[in-house]
Structure 1
Amino acid sequence: MIHLCALSSEPMLNVLNKQRNSSKLRFWMLEKCMVWDMHPHSRQYFRSESAIRYEMERHFQLYDKVIHPFSRFAMFWESVMVFAICVNLVLQPLCSAFEFDVVSSTLLIPYVLMVINVIFTTDLIINFNKGYGDDFTRTVTLDRSLIAKRYLRGMFLIDLVSSVPWDLMAHTLFPDTQQGRNVMLTMHLIALISLLRIGTLMTYLKTILDMWFFSGNLQMLIRHSIGVIFLLHWTANLHYLVPNIQRHFNGGWFPESWTTTWQVIYLKSKVDRYIHSLFRATCQLSATDHGLFPIESLADMLVTTCTYIVGYIYITFVTVMALHYLMSRKSSEIKYQEVMSQLDKYILYKQLPIETQERILYYYEYKFQKFQFREETIQDFVPESLNREINYYASRKLIENVSLLQEFSQDVAGKILSCMKIEIYLPNDIIINAGAPGECMYFLGNGTVAVYTPSGKEVCHLEEGSYFGEIALVLRDRRIATVIAIEICEVYRLSKEDFQKYIASEDHLLRRFTIIAERRIKKTYALEERHKQYLLDHSTKWEEGF
């Protein structure tokens, strides 16, 4: 049965717009700053359309001045920051390493970095007004005080220091004297703190790659490749920076170094000098050689030693990562990929229609979330009391949404949850059929369902936190309505025996269920009678016209 909604389907944003008299520009900006269902994290945190609508409503009513971390604007700004951070990680070491070179310098790089500093300053302001998500609890925080507290304890100091245009200040504010050059050198070294933004770069980059559906292995390859490129670039600049610092503190003269060999001195281009430095860094990081030029000074020896150590550590790290990948081929992610591969072959063998293929794949993706594990096997090795505790905390979102479950102690609620069976229904699946015997009731964990009378009249929609099917357990044995899944739904099934044991045994709960059941019966029967009369009238008119 296909759900064709007969109720009001007015978009949620238009409904909210009527509740508040806002200008078109302000509302457009608000829409771009609200949760976006296409964001890669939206479906991980909010696993249904109703949950996304609830999040939008919560954002609009309580935190309309805050940017949602899973919004269109957040995705756009993170893309801008990926570009800006990459430019900074390339140009800032160049500016610091070659600033005091004897070859004439250009002010182009400091001005480009000034533009990057403006972007970083804007990002500083945005971070105080953008919420954050907790991957462990799958919750989003939009409270400004909590946002500020978390940011101040995190990356704020690094972001603040890296937002200052140190290079331009060094060029414009200080004279070309020994003391002025000391201050300029210090500023250039302070500016290198911005290199710590590489962690932010990798975080934003992962979100963007998730957005474009890159596989986990391909994402890891891209991030490691970028890491290798930056490591080579930074090491090349370090090899040139350290001798320059030594020369600066020696008043323009220092003992022999690879940068003072006649081959390097006669190179008039900074690009050529950088290429020689990059080759030297590559040889030493790969632990193959020390480059074209011998180690001449203590500074060369120190930098070379550090480079060899970093190179060995990185090679070891890559080797361990590769071995870990090969040894973990039976991990949950790989098992999931193997199951999906078998599923593709099964679908091909059965020659199923396209629509059925999509529904099967949709079900597996939703159920396992790209992880494959045997929950029954795991639970068999866990004590019953611990299983109840696991079920309680795993279902905390259901408990928060269903006020009925909040009235029980954690132990009793855990027992009820352990009795429930989780079932997943795809869009247009029939969960309950009118007239069928009622042997259970359902609690809606995720998704939205539509309720119909026996003749096909749509009564209402129920969203997560609702329950249905209790009428057959409280007042009568058969179902009085049909319930259909509008989107993919995760429901908790409670059998009639467990209902009698835990809920019907409590008089006040039974009375509440009875009152709600009688109200629902009355509404359903009234709509059913009006719909039958409507169908009868139209049938009579059609026969008369015929």
Structure 2
Amino acid sequence: MANGRVASGTPDACPDAHQSVKICIDASEPGTATPKNQDAVQFFPTPSGEQVRAASDGSAAAANAAGRAAKEGDDVSLYGTPKEELGPGGGGGLSEAKASFMRNQLEALFQPSDNKLAMKLFGSKKALMKERIRQKAAGHWIIHPCSNFRFYWDLCMLLLLVANLIVLPVAISFFNDDLSIRWIAFNCLSDTIFLLDIVVNFRTGIMHQDNSEQVILDPKLIAHHYIRTWFFLDLISSIPLDYIFLIFIQDYSDSFQLLHAGRALRILRFAKMLSLLRLLRLSRLVRYVSQWEEVYFLNMASVFMKIFNLICMMLLVGHWSGCLQFLVPMLQGFPSNSWVAINELETKYWFEQYSWALFKAMSHMLCIGYGRFPPQSLTDMWLTLLSMISGATCYALFLGHTTNLIQSLDSSRRQYREKLKQVEEYMAYRKLPRDLRQGITDYFEHRYQGKFFDEEAILGELSERLREDVINYNCRSLVASVPFFANADPNFVNDVVTKLKYEVFQPGDIIIKEGTLGTKMYFIQEGIVDIVMSNGEVATSLSDGSYFGEICLLTNARRVASVRAETYCNLFSLSVEHFNAVLDVYPVMRRTMESIAAERLNKIGKNPDIVCQREDLRVDLSTVTALLRSAQAAHNDDDEDDEDGGDSGDAKGGGRAQGGNRRKYSNLLGVHRSREGGGATTIPRPKSESCFHRMFDLASGAAAQTALPRSGTFYESLTGMGSQGNLQED
């Protein structure tokens, strides 16, 4: 902004300065007055207090000095850079800037915006920016169909079309003063806007039929397409042919007295018929409504919109039919056998006439009667027949769309009933016994609970992230109830639950049979199962959050016990292929499951050593055994050193205990590796305290088998360090 300069404080420079303080600000040098006829208006900073006092005292020199001081302090902006100052042509530059700004804003309205239709067509912001560049290169006045301008224009046209299609039939049928000022103004305004709509359509891009992502922006192609489709229909419905006809007839008449003659009455009736051409604007209404459905109702059920549109169309057809029921007798001069004359409605108020006409038309369309009187004339009979045909057509369409809507509202329940019907026909064809049929029916009711859908196919069509989110949400109660998952690595839990399969068992079903080869393990979401021994005794029961069937998957052996469902059980199964694939990635979790499997085998009286038959587990146990032996030897050496050192080590003890134990662990591991020839055998780092303790329980078992005594102090330190995640190779 340019700097302000204070003019002379004399009354000539600032009129009425003795009455009030007035500062005249101009872009010229100090001491000059602002001409009264100056066209350009400049805005400058508010004068300081010193300037105001100088002007009020009438001291021009003081005012000029204060102005120069303000200028010197105001030449630098807030950021320390010189301020721009308008030159002699500043006013013209400002006007050009405003014009450029308005032009840019108008062009921005024509460019595609990030609405639902644009994002559906182009898919991303980057593609949308490329489309904006392409639209700008096509020309400054090409309107993109996804632009904000087109949105607001379509909205205005939609409202105007609805008003025209409702008001025009009433005015043509029930009013004789078609040449009133208000009616002529309404028609002329509407016709002008619809003619402008034709111009807008010539400059609006077209979505390609074969490739919806490609929008045609070439003006020649747009014009060619519009002329071949809707141009002539839009033109006929927009031109005021009735007024043109009346003006043409008036030019050949000497006076307005012609309007009161018999020929003039026929001319006016013909003009009314011409005004009915405006009702062809219904085609525009259908187009605009379909465009709005596509752009702004993408997430809404299409059947709902079809039914809503059909209801509105049926009401509009009934409205038109009622107006037509009255218009035809009026054009005939209300014959004595017409329904209007029979009901004595010729001179009634227009709303009463419209009400009886609408009642008659809706009675025909809904096939509930003929109104107050049946048709008496041939004209009334044909009008009644036309109303019945239109009403029957609308009724059939409405009934069909409503039926589709009811079916689509609960498609999964309908599919369930169809599937259950197929099952019943299958059971009847195979002549299954009644008890078996009842069991199958109960299974379907509990498994699908009245809704049938292909969940695997639905999840398969989702992206990987969405599929994992859905599965994790469905299995949230399982993960929360299984203690094994509570302390496990979240990545391990995610890998497991994404491979689970939902299964349902009825009371009494044998889920696992002893002696068979196992291909699955199970997690219990809801229900109770019994572990049954070969002699029929129930060893234990498992409920929500437990899992079973993992022993044979770990050992590649046969099932060691049977599992029977006591109640309806909702289980998740994990196949042996997925089981091994997950545990190969997380070996620590394999060790944890092996320790739990050994405990379960011991609980039901089976040999827990079958879990230790795998080669990799025997290697791990030998490593732990060797470490424990070395730990025992190192502990004995430490005891001898402590006896030599006396009590001097106690003063330092606590601070160096953890570091010494860690060094001992590393040294022991190095000694063991050197004994084994530099092998790469390691103890996996535990992921949780419970996992660590279970792993060392195996080590304790190995130590007991080799008659190795537990080294109290060092063993406890080793266990504590492991629970804190400190047991790892340096």
TM-score category of the 2 structures, normalised to the smaller one: 0.5 to 0.7
- Aligned-pair distance for 1:213? 5.9
Task: Select which of 90, 94, 117 maps to 2:191.
Answer: 117
2:345 partner SS: helix
1:64 counterpart = 2:140: yes
- Aligned-pair distance for 1:255? 4.1
Q: Provide the C-alpha distance between the structure 1 equivalents of 2:347 and 2:149, rounded to a whole number of angstroms.
A: 50
- Aligned-pair distance for 1:168? 4.7
1:78 counterpart = 2:154: yes
Q: In the superposition, relative to structure 1, how do residues 27 and 197 fare at CA in structure 2: closer, same or farther (>3 Å)?
A: same
Q: Which residue of 2 aligns with 1:235?
A: 321
1:220 counterpart = 2:306: yes
- Aligned-pair distance for 1:296? 2.2
After superposition, give the CA deviation of every residue in 1:323-359 in whole Å (9 maximum; x if it has no partner). Answer: 3445567989x9899989x99897487499xxxxxxx
Q: Which residue of 2 aligns with 1:90?
A: 166
Q: How does 1:103-502 map to 2 (within 5 A)?
A: 108-138=182-212, 139-169=214-244, 174=250, 175-176=258-259, 177-209=261-293, 210-211=295-296, 215-216=300-301, 217-247=303-333, 254-267=335-348, 269-326=349-406, 347=473, 350=476
Match for 2:281: what amino acid?
A: R
Q: Provide the C-alpha distance between the structure 2 equivalents of 1:183 and 1:266, rounded to a whole number of angstroms.
A: 22
- Aligned-pair distance for 1:308? 1.0
TM-score by length of 2: 0.40
Q: Provide the C-alpha distance between the structure 1 equivalents of 2:147 and 2:140, rounded to a whole number of angstroms.
A: 13
Q: Which residue of 1 aligns with 2:503?
A: none
Q: Provide the C-alpha distance between the structure 2 equivalents of 1:336 and 1:34, rounded to a whole number of angstroms.
A: 43
Q: In the superposition, relative to structure 1, how do residues 227 and 104 fare at CA in structure 2: closer, same or farther (>3 Å)?
A: closer
Q: Provide the C-alpha distance between the structure 2 equivalents of 1:254 and 1:345, rounded to a whole number of angstroms.
A: 76
Q: In the superposition, relative to structure 1, how do residues 63 and 243 fare at CA in structure 2: closer, same or farther (>3 Å)?
A: same
Q: Which residue of 2 aligns with 1:50?
A: 126
Max radius of gyration: which structure? 2
Query: Do the aligned partners of 2:207 and 2:216 also contact (CA within 8 Å) in 1?
Result: yes
Query: Do the aligned partners of 1:206 and 1:219 also contact (CA within 8 Å) in 2?
Result: no
- Aligned-pair distance for 1:258? 0.8
Q: Provide the C-alpha distance between the structure 1 equivalents of 2:200 and 2:266, rounded to a whole number of angstroms.
A: 34
Match for 2:193: what amino acid?
A: I
Match for 2:296: what amino acid?
A: M
Q: Percent identity?
A: 22
Match for 1:259: what amino acid?
A: V
TM-score by length of 1: 0.53
1:27 counterpart = 2:104: yes
Q: In the superposition, relative to structure 1, how do residues 350 and 133 fare at CA in structure 2: closer, same or farther (>3 Å)?
A: farther
After superposition, give the CA deviation of every residue in 1:51-109 in whole Å (9 maximum; x if it has no partner). Answer: 11111011112333211111000001000110111111112212322245xx9996534
- Aligned-pair distance for 1:195? 2.3
Q: Provide the C-alpha distance between the structure 2 equivalents of 1:214 and 1:276, rounded to a whole number of angstroms.
A: 41
Q: In the superposition, relative to structure 1, how do residues 146 and 243 fare at CA in structure 2: closer, same or farther (>3 Å)?
A: same
- Aligned-pair distance for 1:42? 0.8
Match for 1:58: what amino acid?
A: R
- Aligned-pair distance for 1:48? 1.2
- Aligned-pair distance for 1:190? 2.7
Runs of 5+ consecutive residues of structure 1 not aligned to the other structure: 1-20, 248-252, 353-546
Q: How many residues in Structure 1 have an aligned counterpart in Structure 2?
A: 323
1:36 counterpart = 2:117: no
How much is the aligned-residue C-alpha RMSD, in angstroms?
3.6
Q: Provide the C-alpha distance between the structure 2 equivalents of 1:243 and 1:336, rounded to a whole number of angstroms.
A: 62
Query: Do the aligned partners of 2:242 and 2:274 also contact (CA within 8 Å) in 1?
Result: no
Match for 1:92: what amino acid?
A: L
- Aligned-pair distance for 1:34? 0.6
Query: Do the aligned partners of 1:202 and 1:223 also contact (CA within 8 Å) in 2?
Result: no
Q: In the superposition, relative to structure 1, how do residues 266 and 47 fare at CA in structure 2: closer, same or farther (>3 Å)?
A: same
Q: Provide the C-alpha distance between the structure 1 equivalents of 2:118 and 2:158, rounded to a whole number of angstroms.
A: 20
Q: How does 1:510-525 map to 2 (within 5 A)?
A: none
Q: Provide the C-alpha distance between the structure 2 equivalents of 1:65 and 1:331, rounded to a whole number of angstroms.
A: 48
Moved more, 207-216 or 78-87: 207-216
Match for 1:50: what amino acid?
A: K
Query: Do the aligned partners of 1:281 and 1:307 also contact (CA within 8 Å) in 2?
Result: yes
After superposition, give the CA deviation of every residue in 1:236-289 in whole Å (9 maximum; x if it has no partner). Answer: 111011112222xxxxx634101112541352x111111111111111110101
Runs of 5+ consecutive residues of structure 2 not aligned to the other structure: 1-97, 251-257, 415-452, 480-730
1:193 partner SS: helix
Q: Provide the C-alpha distance between the structure 2 equivalents of 1:344 and 1:187, rounded to a whole number of angstroms.
A: 66
Query: Do the aligned partners of 1:35 and 1:71 also contact (CA within 8 Å) in 2?
Result: yes
- Aligned-pair distance for 1:312? 1.4
Query: Do the aligned partners of 1:91 and 1:113 also contact (CA within 8 Å) in 2?
Result: no
2:157 partner SS: helix
Match for 2:100: what amino acid?
A: S
Q: Provide the C-alpha distance between the structure 2 equivalents of 1:303 and 1:169, rounded to a whole number of angstroms.
A: 30
Match for 1:265: what amino acid?
A: E
Q: Provide the C-alpha distance between the structure 1 equivalents of 2:246 and 2:289, rounded to a whole number of angstroms.
A: 33
2:332 partner SS: helix
After superposition, give the CA deviation of every residue in 1:412-434 in whole Å (9 maximum; x if it has no partner). Answer: xxxxxxxxxxxxxxxxxxxxxxx
- Aligned-pair distance for 1:188? 2.3
Query: Do the aligned partners of 2:335 and 2:341 also contact (CA within 8 Å) in 1?
Result: no
Q: In the superposition, relative to structure 1, how do residues 347 and 181 fare at CA in structure 2: closer, same or farther (>3 Å)?
A: farther
Q: Provide the C-alpha distance between the structure 2 equivalents of 1:336 and 1:271, rounded to a whole number of angstroms.
A: 58
Moved more, 217-226 or 138-147: 217-226
Query: Do the aligned partners of 2:310 and 2:394 also contact (CA within 8 Å) in 1?
Result: no
- Aligned-pair distance for 1:166? 4.0
Query: Do the aligned partners of 1:161 and 1:193 also contact (CA within 8 Å) in 2?
Result: yes
Q: Which residue of 1 aligns with 2:542?
A: none
Query: Do the aligned partners of 2:237 and 2:280 also contact (CA within 8 Å) in 1?
Result: no
- Aligned-pair distance for 1:22? 8.3
Q: Which residue of 1 aligns with 2:482?
A: none
Q: In the superposition, relative to structure 1, how do residues 106 and 82 fare at CA in structure 2: closer, same or farther (>3 Å)?
A: same
Match for 1:199: what amino acid?
A: S
